[in-house]
Structure formats: C-alpha cells, structure tokens
Amino acid sequence: MSETTTVKSENIVDIQNLKMYFPVRRGLLRKKIGDVKALDNVSISIKPGETLGLVGESGCGKTTMGRCILRLYKPTEGNIIFQGDDISNYTDHDLRHTRRDMAIIFQDPYSSLNPRKNSGTIVGEPLLIHNLTKSRKEYEDRVAELFIMSGLSPDMTDRYPHEFSGGQRQRLSVARALAGDPSLIVCDEPISALDVSMQAQILNLLQELQVKRGKLSYLFISHDLMAVQYISHRIAVMYLGKIVEMSASADLYANTLHPYSQALLSAQPVPDPVVEATRKRIILTGDVPTPLNPPSGCSFHPRCFMAKPECSVETPQLRDVGNGHLVACHCV
C-alpha cells in the first residue's frame, strides 16, 4: 500500500514534471541500449469542466500522456495528481476506486469493443465492476439512459458491435466512458478513424455532454488541429515528448508563437479555395526525428526555419509570455 499524499488543488488533474521513458533493449542478454523519451518533463493541468486539447504528430507522446494520466503506464518520474491525490505510485488495488472517475475513448472503435459481448454488456460493465447499481432493474435503466445520452436507441442493447457502423460504435465507446459518471475522459483520437460527416456528429456529442454534465473534463488528443480548436478551451502542442506551446484555444490560433505550431497550423489544409489561394504556407523539411536519440538543445531545431546557433546547444524552457500563453522557444 502506497502512502497517499493529499495536495490541495482545484484542478481535476495536475501533472508535474512527468517523465515516461521506455527502455530499448537489444541483443541476446536484452541489454538496455537507451531510452525512448516519450514524455520528457511535462507539466499540465486540467480544470473541472475544461477541455484540454493535445496536438502533435505521431510519435510525439500524446497517447503516452493520456495513458499516464489514467495510470495505464507507471511514469518514470514526476507526479500525477488526480482530484487532489497523487496517484503516480498507486498500486492496481488502490487505483481501482480512483478509476471510476476516469475513462478513455480510443481511436479505433473496431478494436476497442469486445466483439463477443453485446453492446448492453459493454456499456454496463463499468456499472457492475464498480457496484454502481443495486438491482437488475436499476442496472437496465441506467444502461438505457447511457444509450440515450450517447444518441443511441435503448433497444439496441442486444446487438453486437459488428452490427453497428463506425460512428455508432464510437457512440458506444462514449456511453461506456460515461457509465462510471467520470470527472475526466481521455479522448485519444476519437474521431480520426471516422468519416467527415460522422466526425462532426461525435464532436458535437462530446460538447453537448460536457455542457449538460457541467463538471466533465476532457483531455482531447488529436492530430487534427481544426477539430481540437473546435472543442478545446486550452490547447497544448507537443513535439518529441515535450510541450512546446500551450495557451487558450483562441489565443493559440490568433497568436501562434512557436515555429512548430505555426508550421503545424499552416500544414493543415483549409477547406476553402478563396483562403487557400492567398494563404502562405510553411513547408517543413525533413521527418520527425526519432525520440530514441532526439537532437541536442531544442529538439525542433533541425527542421526549424527560425533556428539560431544557440538553439542546438541550449534547451528552451516553457515560459509565460502573458495571459497564460506558454512557449518554449529561444526566438520568441
């Protein structure tokens, strides 16, 4: 049993200097040859009822971050304070109770729903695990309620996942996430696998639920900047395991400071020919470097169009440039 430190905070989640290193082993003796620094000294917080958007390219550590918050991974270093309790050293047994208040929606609604269980069982399972209902009747009513909340018909509870379309399956994931009445839902690319017209439906559903429920917070992980901007109050941009810029949603788009955020924003095609005809684009050269051996100094400097000599030497720290707009860059 680990000791429980209670920290006073009004935030749902406070992450302090979180590090998550995955060892890389090679050879017959599985000798450790290095670490993949999936998260390197990251600090974020989420307030009740807030949506924090997490943007970045694949391999930048956004999913690792989501999984660390839910303690699906045990972080290498740093603290995860969830509703005032430091859960970074909790055992599985301790976590069981805490996990009622957190949920996750995965990217792929095809692999994240058990094909052998019917949809009612999938959605109702958290209720049984956490003993949230007293009678069969109450259980069934609650499942029906969750179905309606997520925009599904309650008479679909007997159907199996394969009988649903992609968008409906993602609604099932939402219903399941809501079952424990959580205060935080980690949405890990919940719309990337869906068609455009379905994406809009799920985005609106998530937003409506937040408005209705009041104190529900989301960590919304996505590589689609436009979707993130639509749903988030604040946005953090990640690059190679570090947060490079974080600010209020509107501020980030109106006043993009970090060169990587600028490039990311400009790489996003705008579905409007009039805007596109005049828009200047920043095309980055090269690929995202491997997190096994990130570049020295600012890890973005080899691809950066603003890089100065000092960028390859000194790692820039996140600093506040006013109104809670944080940026980690020497050139800003």
Partner 1 sequence: MDRLLTVTGLSTEFRTERGIVKAVNNISYTVNESEIVGLVGESGCGKSVSQLSVMQLIPNPPGRIVAGSVDFDGTDLLQYKRESNEMCAIRGRYISMIFQEPMTSLNPALTICRQMTEVMIEHLGTEYKEAREKSIDMLDQVGIPDAAKRIDDYPHQFSGGMRQRVMVAMAMLCNPKMIIADEATTALDATIQAQLLELLYGMVDKYKTALVMVTHNLGVVARYVNRINVMYAGSIVESGTVNEIWANPMHPYTEGLLSCVPRLGEKLVPIKGMPPSLVNRPDTCPFAARCRYRQKQCFEQPVSELTLVEGTHYSACAVKLEGKV
For residue 307, the minimal CB distance to partner 1 (Å) is: 16
- Phi/psi of residue 155, each to 5°? -85, 10
- Output the DSSP codes for 240-262: TTEEEEEEEHHHHHHS--SHHHH
Name which of 200 and 306 has its Cβ closer to partner 1. Answer: 200
Query: According to the 3-state scheme, what is the secondary structure of 41-55?
Result: EEEEEECCCCEEEEE
Name all contacts of 200-203 with Cβ < 8 Å and 24+ positions apart.
201/151, 201/167, 202/167, 202/170, 202/171, 202/174, 203/227, 203/230, 203/231
Q: Which residues are at the interface with partner 1 (CB under 8 A)?
A: 57-58, 165, 167-168, 195-201, 203-204, 223, 225-227, 229-230, 253, 263-264, 266-277, 281, 283-285, 287-288
* C-alpha 85 chain-centroid distance: 20
For residue 123, the minimal CB distance to partner 1 (Å) is: 20
Name which of 29 and 274 has its Cβ closer to partner 1. Answer: 274
For residue 331, the minimal CB distance to partner 1 (Å) is: 18
Helix ranges restricted to H, 29-151? 62-69, 92-98, 119-129, 136-149
Name which of 273 and 322 has its Cβ closer to partner 1. Answer: 273
Name which of 139 and 253 has its Cβ closer to partner 1. Answer: 253
Name which of 29 and 275 has its Cβ closer to partner 1. Answer: 275
Name which of 66 and 167 has its Cβ closer to partner 1. Answer: 167
For residue 169, the minimal CB distance to partner 1 (Å) is: 11
For residue 226, the minimal CB distance to partner 1 (Å) is: 4
Name which of 211 and 283 has its Cβ closer to partner 1. Answer: 283
The answer to whether the beta carbons of residues 14 and 184 sit under 8 Å apart is no
For residue 199, the minimal CB distance to partner 1 (Å) is: 7
Q: In one letter, which amino acid is 119?
A: S
Angle separating helix axes 119-129 and 136-149, nearest 10 degrees? 120
For residue 277, the minimal CB distance to partner 1 (Å) is: 8
Angle separating helix axes 119-129 and 166-178, nearest 10 degrees? 20
The answer to whether the beta carbons of residues 88 and 75 sit under 8 Å apart is yes
What span, in angstroms and rounded, lies between the C-alpha atoms of 302 and 321?
24
